[in-house]
């Protein structure tokens, strides 16, 4: 068992890789009532082309299948829903799928050991029938329609779609009503057996627990199952040309208030470890300097009546892709996009102000500390960083080391004209 | 065992609540203003939520105030407005990293509390009026918020159901006020209302974190110089409402998915002998994934992605929400109504009752792990002047019997069905009724 102590933050992570390849992490939280656990596989919507471990062939699977699989795993071999077992044990369970991960989770203040076992066992016991697969199509169909009616969702995913020529990050995570129609029991099993091997998964437990006891419990559980060590899954992603696929798109919806988002596609990806963490933090700090609530730009945009409290910005990076997204509600989508672009380009002509950098650094450190109140944040982000070869708790050290010259380099690389795109949602006439 | 240690002290006509705990990495301060919901004041109150957090006399612009907050390790100053029965609650929250993790800054707690006091008691105002520019800016922010509600169809449908169901009751008033009332509010009007609120509202201040209570009380006494307070007591009140034949309201928007909301009245509110049974009933009916609505609307009939109910214990309502194909309106309404009937006739097993109780207790205990939900829980007993603490809550839930649940179900009456659907000629079909 590896023990990682982060003295200044007063947190400790206990980590062990089991013989079958499963990584188990425990972070004890003294004084907390509840235990929160996630069981995540490094498998998301972008992993749609891979070497199948059942047929040994390279296969392309329908859009939305990772998310569909997430829904179907809740069904038990006896036809019941695992929610019932969790409810009996006083746990709230849930799951979600992103571009790169599928995560199953529970939160409970009682029966923690039982709930941990239930979490692992249900994910490791697939039971799909033709009938139940068909039935799920109606439910997920409504989930897709719900997102289609959500303008914030549409503008955000529309922006990503603009950026990418070929990479599957441009495809909706839940797929479309047409694409999920092609999903079968067999295709679900093929994905399951390829991506749900313990070697591709991480279990993270946060709560008032004894770490050694937890790790022992999980080890025993896994020893009872017949997993043999497996080589990493082979995945293929299409060659992605530099620059954006589309510089602008306009979506018409039944909205009262239009929306405008702009973003830049990361020029270079495939970073890992500290390098990855540093790059992600650098772009985030730059965005804070450019558009944070204490910035001159934010004040100007408010004064020009181009933004309101819905305005936000973010930068996300994963091994295969990365992008910034900036914007929100606005009465004048074209003007807002143009102003955001101008402001970013103007910053490239000026040095980064030291005082503002110190302030942004302090703010980010404070927000990281605040986030450590949240077991959700810790478990999900720790796992995300682990899948990218980095450590969540290194954020503090990397943050303290960031230098203005390094930020300038990132500023010039990321905010490149050819990587710029915008997406708008406007009123349907 | 007591789950929470709460130190309560009256200071200068306000009530201070301190929960010293080292489990959080943060310090959280909240000031809660409690007044009655009234059409004449809802919009002013909402506007104050914006104006007070945007500037102070000492930091007379949002940018300057924000720079101070950023310097306090990204402290956040936010405001929230809630409706609790007939009360309109305005809260100001300051949330910051805890001192002990930040080597150089042992004055963070005092600085944060002083800044919060400044926002509330030393606003950017002079000669009996708020700064006009600030008021105009924040009017725009509030107006934008009000205008964007219609673009969030789930939230919009919830509001519309209450509009129709509780027409004429104070509870139907919109939490964030009305666009048509906004323009007429002058910086003087707003300042007059602000002074009245500072003087007459019941005010509670919460402090959650690793603090020394005596030291914190000292800081509060100095920083929060409320003077001449004459609080007007607002005892919790509830007037039961008779329900006639259920109303059905339909509305058409440019959408792909229909939003179906059903409003039921139980007339059982917090403090009622059946209050705990109402909690269990709601959990059994639609509160969780093992509940009847989820099982039957989603899992069995495949009609929806979400189908759930919520119990508003200050108003005695059970509110059901779901998102469906337009053409499935009749079918879904029938299934939802059947689920209530099945509970009314005692058609539910003990396992489901146990599951529900386990999850209700879990939810209450989990709330102790976040400073914000902890404040909300503690404040509930202030609102209803109830002596029930969390320990009591847990035992009472366990005591709820099948008969109690059936009694609540039988008292639960459908009042209004609200359905937001697509336009004529839409490919997903039109409502059939």
pLDDT in tens, A266-278: 999 999 999 999 9
Flag whether residue B74 sits within 8 Å of chain A, measured between CB atoms.
Answer: yes
Q: What is the pLDDT of residues B338-360, one digit of tens each?
A: 999 999 999 999 999 999 999 99
Q: Which of A91, A172, A370 to mutate to test the interface with B (most CBs of B within 10 A)?
A: A370
Flag whether residue A299 sits within 8 Å of chain B, measured between CB atoms.
Answer: yes
Q: Do A142 and B257 touch (CB under 8 A)?
A: yes
Q: What is the pLDDT of residues A312-340, one digit of tens each?
A: 999 999 999 999 999 999 999 999 999 99
Which pLDDT score, from 0 to 100, does residue B425 have? 57
* pLDDT over 90 (residue B390): no
Residues 6+ apart with CB under 8 A from B392: none
Which pLDDT score, from 0 to 100, does residue B225 have? 87
Report d(CA A67, CA A182) in Å as an integer. 14
Q: What is the pLDDT of residues B227-262, one digit of tens each?
A: 889 999 888 989 999 999 999 999 999 999 999 999
Q: How many CA atoms lie within 13 A of A213 on its CB side?
A: 9
Asked if residues B34 and B92 have their Cβ atoms less than 8 Å apart, the reply is no
How far is CA B93 from each of CA A376, B120, B200, B372, B424, rounded to the nearest angstrom?
22, 11, 20, 9, 46
Asked if residues A399 and A281 have their Cβ atoms less than 8 Å apart, the reply is yes
Grade residue B389 by pLDDT with cuts at 50, 70 and 90.
confident
* pLDDT over 80 (residue B428): no
Q: Which domains does chain A have, with CATH numbers?
A: 2-223 (3.30.830.10), 248-427 (3.30.830.10)
- In a 3-state reduction of DSSP, which class is residue B264? strand
- In a 3-state reduction of DSSP, which class is residue B418? strand
Tokens for A268?
């270079």
How far is CA A343 from each of CA A290, A335, A340, rounded to the nearest angstrom?
8, 12, 5
Q: Comparing C-alpha atoms, which of A373, A308, A142 is closest to residue B101?
A: A373
Which pLDDT score, from 0 to 100, does residue B430 have? 41
Asked if residues A396 and A8 have their Cβ atoms less than 8 Å apart, the reply is yes
**Size of the A and B interface in Cβ pairs below 8 Å:** 187
ipTM value for the complex: 0.95
Which pLDDT score, from 0 to 100, does residue B104 have? 55
Domain range annotation of chain B: 7-223, 247-421
Q: What is the pLDDT of residues B126-155, one digit of tens each?
A: 999 999 999 999 999 999 999 999 999 999
Tokens for B255?
């959408």
Q: Is A2 an annotated catalytic residue?
A: no
- B247-421 domain in CATH 3.40.50.300? no
Q: Which CATH number is B7-223 given? A: 3.30.830.10
Q: What is the pLDDT of residues A30-83, one digit of tens each?
A: 999 999 999 999 999 999 999 999 999 999 999 999 999 999 999 999 989 999
Distance from CA of A86 to the nearest CA of B (A): 8
Q: In the beta sheet, which residues pair with residue B96?
A: B27
Residues of A in contact with B53 (CB under 8 A): none
* pLDDT over 50 (residue B296): yes
Which pLDDT score, from 0 to 100, does residue B429 have? 45
Q: What is the pLDDT along chain A (429 residues), one digit of tens a residue?
A: 999 999 889 999 999 999 999 999 999 999 999 999 999 999 999 999 999 999 999 999 999 999 999 999 999 999 899 999 999 999 999 999 999 999 999 999 999 999 999 999 999 999 999 999 999 999 999 999 999 999 999 999 999 999 999 999 999 999 999 999 999 999 999 999 999 999 999 999 999 999 999 999 999 999 999 998 889 999 999 999 999 999 999 999 999 999 999 999 999 999 999 999 999 999 999 999 999 999 999 999 999 999 999 999 999 999 999 999 999 999 999 999 999 999 999 999 999 999 999 999 999 999 999 999 999 999 999 999 999 999 999 999 999 999 999 999 999 999 999 999 999 999 997
Report d(CA A257, CA A254) in Å as an integer. 9
What single string gives the DSSP state of each residue in A256-298? SS-EEEEEEB-S-----HHHHHHHHHHHHHHHHHHHSTTSHHH
- Domains B7-223 and B247-421 agree in fold: yes
């Amino acid at each position: 068992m590896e023990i990682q102590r982060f003295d200044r933050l007063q947190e400790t992570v206990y980590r062990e890789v089991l013989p079958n390849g499963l990584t188990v992490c425990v972070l004890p939280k003294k004084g907390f009532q509840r235990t929160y656990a996630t069981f995540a596989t490094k498998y998301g919507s972008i992993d749609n082309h891979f070497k199948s471990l059942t047929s040994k062939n390279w296969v392309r699977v329908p859009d939305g299948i990772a998310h569909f699989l997430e829904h179907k795993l809740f069904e038990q071999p006896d036809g019941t829903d695992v929610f019932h077992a969790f409810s009996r044990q006083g746990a709230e369970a849930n799951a979600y799928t992103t571009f790169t991960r599928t995560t199953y989770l529970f939160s409970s203040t009682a029966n923690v050991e039982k709930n941990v076992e239930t979490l692992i066992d249900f994910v490791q016991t697939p039971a799909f029938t033709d009938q139940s697969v068909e039935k799920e199509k109606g439910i997920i169909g409504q989930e897709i329609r719900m997102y289609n009616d959500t303008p914030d969702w549409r503008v955000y995913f529309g922006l990503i779609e603009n950026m990418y020529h070929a990479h599957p990050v441009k495809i909706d995570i839940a797929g479309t009503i047409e694409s999920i129609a092609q999903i079968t029991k067999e295709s679900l099993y093929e994905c399951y057996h390829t991506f749900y091997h313990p070697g591709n998964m991480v279990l993270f437990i946060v709560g008032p627990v004894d770490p050694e006891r937890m790790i022992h419990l999980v080890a025993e559980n896994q020893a009872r199952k017949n997993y043999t060590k497996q080589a990493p899954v082979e995945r293929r992603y299409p060659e992605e040309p530099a620059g954006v696929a589309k510089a602008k798109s306009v979506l018409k919806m039944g909205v009262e208030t239009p929306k405008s988002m702009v973003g830049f596609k990361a020029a270079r990806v495939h970073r890992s470890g500290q390098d990855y963490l540093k790059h992600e933090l650098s772009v985030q700090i730059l965005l804070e300097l450019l558009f944070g609530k204490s910035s001159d730009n934010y004040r100007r945009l408010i004064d020009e009546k181009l933004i309101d409290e819905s305005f936000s910005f973010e930068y996300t990076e994963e091994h295969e892709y990365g992008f910034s997204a900036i914007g929100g509600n606005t009465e004048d989508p074209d003007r807002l996009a143009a102003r955001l672009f101008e402001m970013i380009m103007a910053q490239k002509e000026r040095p980064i102000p030291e005082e503002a950098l110190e302030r942004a650094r302090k703010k980010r450190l404070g927000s990281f500390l605040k986030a450590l109140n949240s077991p959700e944040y810790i478990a999900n982000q720790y796992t995300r960083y682990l899948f990218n070869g980095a450590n969540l708790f290194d954020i503090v050290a990397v943050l303290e080391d960031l230098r203005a010259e390094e930020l300038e380099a990132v500023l010039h690389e990321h905010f490149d004209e050819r990587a710029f795109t915008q997406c708008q949602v406007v009123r349907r006439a | 065992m007591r789950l929470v240690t709460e130190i309560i002290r009256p200071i200068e006509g306000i009530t201070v609540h301190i929960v010293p705990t080292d489990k959080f990495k943060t310090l959280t301060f909240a000031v809660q203003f409690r007044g009655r919901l009234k059409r004449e004041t809802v919009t002013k109150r909402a506007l104050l939520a914006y104006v007070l957090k945007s500037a102070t006399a000492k930091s007379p612009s949002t940018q300057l105030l924000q720079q101070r907050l950023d310097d306090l390790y990204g402290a956040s100053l936010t405001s929230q407005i809630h409706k609790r029965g007939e009360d309109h609650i305005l809260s100001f929250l300051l949330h910051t990293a805890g001192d002990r993790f930040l080597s150089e800054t042992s004055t963070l707690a005092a600085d944060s509390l002083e800044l919060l006091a400044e926002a509330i008691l030393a606003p950017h105002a002079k000669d009996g009026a708020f700064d006009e520019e600030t008021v105009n800016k924040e009017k725009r922010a509030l107006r934008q918020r009000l205008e964007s509600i219609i673009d969030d169809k789930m939230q919009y449908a919830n509001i519309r159901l209450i509009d129709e169901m509780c027409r004429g009751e104070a509870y139907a008033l919109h939490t964030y006020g009305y666009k048509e009332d906004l323009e007429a509010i002058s910086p003087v009007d707003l300042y007059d209302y602000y002074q009245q609120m500072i003087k007459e509202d019941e005010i509670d201040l919460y402090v959650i974190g690793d603090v020394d209570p005596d030291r914190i009380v000292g800081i509060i006494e100095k920083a929060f110089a409320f003077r001449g307070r004459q609080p007007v007591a607002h005892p919790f009140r509830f007037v039961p409402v008779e329900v006639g034949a259920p109303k059905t309201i339909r509305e058409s928007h440019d959408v792909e998915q229909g939003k179906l909301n059903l409003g039921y009245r139980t007339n059982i509110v917090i403090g009622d002998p059946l209050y705990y049974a109402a909690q269990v009933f709601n959990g059994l009916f639609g509160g969780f994934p093992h509940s009847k609505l989820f099982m039957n609307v989603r899992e069995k009939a495949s009609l929806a992605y979400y189908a759930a109910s919520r119990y508003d214990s200050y108003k005695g309502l059970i509110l059901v929400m779901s998102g469906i194909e337009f053409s499935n309106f009749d079918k879904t309404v029938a299934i939802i109504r059947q689920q209530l009937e099945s509970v009314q006739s005692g058609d539910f097993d003990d396992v489901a009752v146990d599951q529900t109780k386990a999850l209700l207790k879990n939810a209450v205990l989990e709330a102790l792990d976040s400073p914000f939900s902890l404040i909300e829980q503690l404040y509930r007993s202030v609102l209803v002047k109830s002596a029930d603490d969390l320990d009591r809550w847990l035992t009472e839930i366990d005591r709820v019997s099948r008969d109690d649940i059936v009694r609540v179900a039988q008292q639960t009456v459908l009042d209004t069905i609200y359905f937001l659907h697509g336009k004529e000629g839409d490919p997903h079909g039109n409502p059939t009724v």
